[in-house]
Structure 1
Amino acid sequence: MRHISLNRPFVVRSYASSWPASQLWSASYLSSALGTQPVNVALTPHGNADSVIDVGGKGEGKLFVQPYERSEPFTSAMQYIQAQELGGPAQHKNRPTRYLQTQNDNLRSEYTALFSSVPPSIPFAHIALQKQPDAINFWLGNSHSVTALHKDNYENIYVQVRGKKHFVLLPPVESVCVDERGVLAATYKPRQREGSAESEEKEEDLNNLIPHVTEPHTYTPFALWDPDTPPSDDRGTRFSHLSQPMRVTLDEGDMLYLPALWYHKVSQSCNEEGICCAVNYWYDLEFGGSFWSMANFIRGVGLLSPAKSGG
Structure 2
Amino acid sequence: MGEQQITVAATPDALAQAQLPGPGSPRTFFVLPLERKLRVAEALSQICQAEISGGEEAEVLYVQHQNDSLTSQFEPLMIDITDHLSLWARAAFGTAQEATNFWLGNSRSSTSYHQDYYENIYCMVRGCKHFRLLAPCQKHRMDVRSYPVARYKESAAGLHPVLLSPAQSVPWSSVRSREPAAGPGCRCHPCWPTPLHVTVRAGEVLYLPACTWHHVSQSAGEEGCAIAVNYWFDVASDKLLSLLATLDQ
Mark yes or no: TM-score above 0.5.
yes
Moved over 4 A (4+): none
Q: Which residue does the alignment assign to 2:59? A: 96
Aligned-residue offset at 1:236 = 4.1
Aligned-residue offset at 1:61 = 2.2
Q: Which residue does the alignment assign to 1:187? A: 151
Where in structure 2 are there 5+ consecutive unaligned residues?
none
Aligned to 1:116, which of 68, 79, 96? 79
Whole-angstrom CA distance in 2 between matches of 1:234 and 1:98: 33
* Paired residues for 1:73-84 under 5 Å: 73-84=39-50
* Paired residues for 1:145-224 under 5 Å: 145-191=109-155, 193=156, 208-224=158-174
Quick one: percent identity of the two aligned structures? 35
Higher helix share: 1
Q: Please list the CA deviations of residues 117-155 of structure 1 after superposition, one character each: whole Å capped at 9, or x if unmatched.
A: 123352331211113311111100000100111011100
Q: Which residue does the alignment assign to 1:264? A: 214
Aligned-residue offset at 1:46 = 0.8
Q: Please list the CA deviations of residues 65-102 of structure 1 after superposition, one character each: whole Å capped at 9, or x if unmatched.
A: 0100010111001100011100122xxx3510001111
Q: Which residue does the alignment assign to 1:252? A: 202
Whole-angstrom CA distance in 2 between matches of 1:185 and 1:111: 29
Distance 1:236-1:115 versus aligned 2 partners, 3 A rule: farther
Contact 1:165 1:268 in 2 (8 A): yes
Q: Please list the CA deviations of residues 190-229 of structure 1 after superposition, one character each: whole Å capped at 9, or x if unmatched.
A: 12x4xxxxxxxxxxx7xx1000011253110001113422
Q: Which residue does the alignment assign to 2:13? A: 46
| Residue type of the alignment partner of 2:51 | E
Corresponding residue SS for 1:102:
coil
Corresponding residue SS for 2:153:
strand
Whole-angstrom CA distance in 1 between matches of 2:166 and 2:127: 40
Aligned-residue offset at 1:57 = 8.3
Q: Which residue does the alignment assign to 2:231? A: 281
Whole-angstrom CA distance in 2 between matches of 1:187 and 1:144: 20
Q: Which residue does the alignment assign to 1:231? A: 182
TM-score w.r.t. the length of structure 1 is 0.75
Where in structure 1 are there 5+ consecutive unaligned residues?
1-33, 194-204, 302-311
Q: Which residue does the alignment assign to 1:130? A: 94
Distance 1:94-1:109 versus aligned 2 partners, 3 A rule: closer
Q: CA RMSD in A?
A: 1.8
Whole-angstrom CA distance in 1 between matches of 2:33 and 2:4: 21
Whole-angstrom CA distance in 1 between matches of 2:141 and 2:124: 29
TM-score w.r.t. the length of structure 2 is 0.93
| Residue type of the alignment partner of 1:292 | L
Aligned-residue offset at 1:36 = 1.2
Structure number with bigger Rg: 1
How many residues matched?
Answer: 247
Corresponding residue SS for 1:152:
coil
Higher strand share: 2
